[in-house]
Amino acid sequence: MVGHAFMGAAHSQAWRTVNRVFDLPLRARMVAVCGRDPRRTAEAADRLGWEGHHTDWRELIARDDIDLVDICTPGDSHAEIALAALAAGKHVLCEKPLANTLDEAEAMAGAADAARANGIRAMCGFNYRRVPAVTLMRDMIARGDIGTVRHVRAAYLQDWIVDPAHPLVWRLQRDRAGSGALGDIGAHIIDLTQYLTGQHITGVSALTETFIRQRPLPEAPAETGTVTVDDAAILTARLEGGAIATLEATRFATGRKNALRVEINGSHGSLAFDLERLNELEFFDATAPPTTRGFTTVLVTEPEHPYLAAWWPPGHLIGYEHTFTHQMRDLIEAIAHGRDPEPSFTDALSVQRVIDAVEHSARTGTWQPLDSPTH
């Protein structure tokens, strides 16, 4: 694994857990973690459960006893590490957003295509697909439970930078993070829109805004530097099946810490998910008798629900961290069975194309059509 901050810790927890919960054809061994600072990386290896540690990711890739590289770094190093790992015949798991630029994402998807011929697999870490209620939502839509999809309404709201005194961390720098709220949390709801409906976004019209343009430098708080990413992004979109979507991603929704909501309305019903109640799924069935019709809350805690048979007895709840364990389960299954994991780099590239189109639309004030991915 490369990187050992928040995402590195989340992934480590999942790698530690996955073979203890799921009965899988392959066993993950946590061989080594990589970070820039030797002392902090050694400490992270010990705390997170990695056997060894390195300060140069190239040393990880050079090791014969490593089959898979998990990339948990900021976006500016995703492409370089992923391309080198794939070229060396390693499977790759890369955190979202896939890359900082469309060119990098294209190259990564191309490399993943080429590696597939040698049985090498690449996956992008859109973990919210693996909330059981979200997977169930996708299954219900695919089965036709709400009929033809008309609307997707999604919002991902945070507030961690409303304070102008919040320092200019890497997530606020375009050269490190690629974009702001758009790529960090907007990417999740763009991916969910396409995943849940099974349809690509075919065009967007968007607004982005940076409310606070100067912030204190982390290493010299008396000085300020320029925020080079968006604080918020709002878009309207068309989907290839005829539905329309409104998506909002912001770090300025004061009071909202990590609120991700998706509602999908179809010709025969609606489904709604709220990450703050992630064990539940709201379902309105328009074919039910009028006397009893209404939104019902499905408690997604039963062994018949996605992923849950492996966890606790019926009715027991799960949380954020389980989404990463489910992600590792799906990746291991895909590698063992010679399948492409989902989301593939091609799926992640299609999200990157939407991100790019959103920025273009916001800059020019124009509608941006999108072609279907060719990879």
Q: Does 257 bind ligand SOE (CB under 6 A)?
A: no
Cβ of residue 329: shortest distance to ligand SOE, in angstroms?
A: 18
Report the candidate in 39, 5, 322, 9 with the shortest Cα–Cα distance to residue 171: 5
Contact pattern for ligand SOE over residues 183 through 202, marking x by CB under 6 A: -xx-----------------
Measured from the CB of residue 88, what is the shortest distance to ligand SOE in angstroms?
A: 27
CA dihedral for 320, 75, 97, 114, sign (positive or negative): negative
Question: Which residue's CB is nearer to ligand SOE, number 15 or number 324?
Answer: 324
Q: For residues 226 and 258, which CB has a smaller minimum distance to ligand SOE in the complex?
A: 258
| Residue (145 or 274) nearer to ligand SOE, CB | 274
CA distance 60 to 32: 7
Is 34 in contact with 41 (CB distance < 8 Å)?
yes
Q: Which is nearer to ligand SOE, 125 or 269 (CB)?
A: 125
What is the closest distance, in whole angstroms, from the C-beta atom of residue 118 to ligand SOE in the complex?
30
The Cα–Cα gap between 10 and 32 comes to: 16
Q: Judged by CB under 6 A, which of 226, 258, 366, 372 binds ligand SOE?
A: 258
Q: Is 276 exposed, middle or buried (0-12, 13-18, 19+ CB in 10 A)?
A: exposed
Q: Which residues pair with 91 in a beta bridge?
A: 68
Shortest Cβ 161–ligand SOE spacing (Å):
10
Structural element, H or E, at residue 38? helix 38-48
Nearer to ligand SOE, 108 or 187 (CB): 187
| Cα–Cα distance measured from residue 335 to residue 300, given in angstroms and rounded to the nearest whole number | 28
Distance in Å, CB of 255 to ligand SOE, minimum: 16
Range 150-169, binding ligand SOE (CB under 6 A)? 158
Which has the closest alpha carbon to 125: 75, 163, 168?
A: 75
Looking up tokens 């099946």, which residue turns up? 241
Q: Are 231 and 181 in contact (CB under 8 A)?
A: yes
Q: Least distance in Å: CB of 32 to ligand SOE? A: 24
Measured CA to CA, the distance from residue 318 to residue 310 in angstroms comes to 12
Q: Give the nearer residue to ligand SOE in terms of CB position, either 182 or 335.
A: 182
End-to-end CA distance of the chain: 27
Between 137 and 185, name the residue whose CB sits nearer to ligand SOE. 185
Beta strands in the chain (DSSP E): 32-34, 52-54, 68-71, 91-95, 122-125, 149-157, 201-209, 214-217, 220-226, 232-239, 244-250, 259-266, 269-274, 280-285, 296-299, 368-369
43 exposed, middle or buried (CB, 10 Å; 0-12, 13-18, 19+)? middle
Residue number of the CB closest to ligand SOE reads: 184
Please say which residue, 6 or 289, places its beta carbon nearer to ligand SOE: 6
CB of 126 to ligand SOE, least distance (A): 9
Q: How far is the CB of 28 from ligand SOE (least distance, A)?
A: 22
Number of chain residues interacting with ligand SOE (CB under 6 A):
5
Please state, in angstroms and as integers, the Cα–Cα distance from residue 135 to each residue in 13, 17, 141, 298, 311, following that order.
21, 20, 10, 13, 16
| Alpha carbon distance 34, 92 (integer Å) | 15
Q: What's the min distance (Å) between Cβ of 48 and ligand SOE?
A: 17
Of 158 and 193, nearer to ligand SOE (C-beta) is: 158
Residue closer to ligand SOE (CB basis): 8 or 269: 8
Residues 201-240 interacting with ligand SOE (rule: CB under 6 A): none
Binding site for ligand SOE (CB under 6 A): 6, 158, 184-185, 258
